[in-house]
Structure 1
Amino acid sequence: MFDRQDFIQNCIAAAAEGQAAIRELVAEAVSDPTRIAAELGPPTHAGLTPLYRSKTLTIIHFVWAPCMSLMPHNHQMYSVVGIYDGREDNVFWRRKAASIEAVGAASLGARDVVTLAPDAIHSVLNPIGRMTLAIHVYGGDFFAPEQPRSQWDHETLAEEAWDVERVKRIFADAERRFGVTTG
């Protein structure tokens, strides 16, 4: 059975072992979507809710609004993403001379887990008409990383400084656009 506090404590302990140990914990957590949903409760808003934050580890509950997309971005730390309801499509990118180019993709559904290396660049889309629910674990402080993060404009693919407040607005705008609030 998924227990939020146990999950957090297990992730703290596993962080010393690295990304593979975190992946196992996330995979176990999302293997029973009903239990994780019961523990975290029904989503009331699209957005990112920190469950735990330290200099070496951040655990976030993500709620993606229907049909929303997030621009290409990097994390500058490893991440493990586990989906427990809905769908999350990722496009993976790599740097080229003055921009980025797409190099792959992965479509994740309930019970799926993906790991991203510290230098990974990806964009995210919830392609379905309902909320997607996920647990993301990062190997550092997601909100104050040691190295500056970047995001890339959807249209021009020009690199910009990461703006977490803009990301929060994207979630809020998507929620309003699709009228998905339940709270």
Structure 2
Amino acid sequence: MLPQQDRLLVRSLGSASVWTHDASCFNLLEASGYRTQAAVGVWGTTRFGNIQVGFEHPIEQVRLAREMGMFETERFIADCEAAFAADSSHKAIREVVARAMSEPATVLKSLGEPKRAGSQTLFHSDSLTILNVIWAPGMMVMPHNHRMWAVIGIYSGREDNVFWRRIPGEPNRIEAAGAKALCEKDTMPLGSDVIHSVINPIDRLTGAIHIYGGGDFFAAERSEWDSLTLDEHRHDRARTLRMFEQANARYEASLRTLDG
């Protein structure tokens, strides 16, 4: 028997096998029914959080992730695509997101600890977009709409949403209509006509998965409302990018102050 730190943990499923050199996951894998065995030929490797795993066949990547309750980005995207193909509303995808958010630590390990505010595109098509959104501490996003449905899932931190409605007789202005705080593990759908603003009220970065369906998120004509006057104007992507950079500048300055 090889020393524990050098063991290859293998489980045969048909003609396929799974292995890892990572001793830190030895007990976890063995408890799941995996056994130690000599090395086998490997189709490829991937990383689930901090665990490096190899496969003789690609289907084993999916099986191991599901059995060990781990978040794997490519599998998550595939599950979202399948859910959307089965039901073009938000309902099926909400279930996929809720399942992933039920284990926020595994999502965090897979996507990486947030370092700065920004929006990373994980998947984009003309009808479905999946983003990894990071909000800086204290960051506020002005009221805006999407003109398509959305599902939001929080895997780190907190995101507070304020909901708005158009004022009768003043079609270009809005008023507050409600609010909801989203914490780790929370998932929330938004209808295609929803107007909301977002704030990260805590003193650390917040990480969230945002999914938009029923249209091309980057091509859609959307509106946003001035934070001071609440007047409507066309969404300005360049302004949004500047907002993220300004939030990062404030966040990084606060870190330097703490270090000093």
Counterpart position of 1:137: 211
Helix, strand or coil at the partner of 1:6: helix
Give the drift of 1:38. Answer: 0.8
- Give the RMSD, CA atoms, in angstroms: 1.2
Helix, strand or coil at the partner of 1:82: strand
Which of 192, 197, 200 lines up with 1:126 in the alignment? 200
Following the alignment from structure 1 to structure 2, what is the Cα–Cα distance between the partners of residues 117 and 89? 17
> For the Cα contact (< 8 Å) 1:27–1:82, is it kept in 2?
yes
Following the alignment from structure 1 to structure 2, what is the Cα–Cα distance between the partners of residues 11 and 81? 13
Larger relative contact order (Cα-Cα within 8 Å, sequence gap ≥ 6): 1
Helix, strand or coil at the partner of 2:82: helix
Q: Given residue 86 of structure 1, which amino acid in structure 2 is its aligned partner?
A: G
Which of 106, 109, 114 lines up with 2:183 in the alignment? 109
Q: How many residue pairs get matched?
A: 179
Following the alignment from structure 2 to structure 1, what is the Cα–Cα distance between the partners of residues 101 and 248? 24
Counterpart position of 1:10: 79
5+ residue gaps, structure 2, are 1-69, 256-260
Q: Which shifted more, 116-125 or 42-51?
A: 42-51
> For the Cα contact (< 8 Å) 1:143–1:164, is it kept in 2?
no
Counterpart position of 2:123: 52
- The higher radius of gyration belongs to 2
Give the drift of 1:10. Answer: 0.8
Quick check: 1:100 aligned with 2:174?
yes
Q: In percent, how many aligned pairs have the same letter?
A: 51
> For the Cα contact (< 8 Å) 2:150–2:191, is it kept in 1?
yes
Q: Given residue 91 of structure 2, which amino acid in structure 1 is its aligned partner?
A: A
Give the drift of 1:178. Answer: 1.7
- Runs of 4+ aligned residues of structure 1 deviating over 2 Å after TM superposition are none
TM-score, scaled to structure 2? 0.67
TM-score, scaled to structure 1? 0.95
Q: How far does the alpha carbon of each residue in 1:95-131 deviate from its partner, in whole angstroms, 9 at most, with x for none?
A: 1114001100000000001110001000000001100
Counterpart position of 2:110: 39
Counterpart position of 1:158: 231
Q: Which shifted more, 76-85 or 37-46?
A: 37-46
Following the alignment from structure 2 to structure 1, what is the Cα–Cα distance between the partners of residues 239 and 184? 27
Quick check: 1:30 aligned with 2:98?
no
> For the Cα contact (< 8 Å) 2:116–2:205, is it kept in 1?
no
Q: Given residue 31 of structure 1, which amino acid in structure 2 is its aligned partner?
A: S
Following the alignment from structure 1 to structure 2, what is the Cα–Cα distance between the partners of residues 8 and 141? 16
Following the alignment from structure 1 to structure 2, what is the Cα–Cα distance between the partners of residues 141 and 46? 23
Following the alignment from structure 1 to structure 2, what is the Cα–Cα distance between the partners of residues 31 and 171? 28
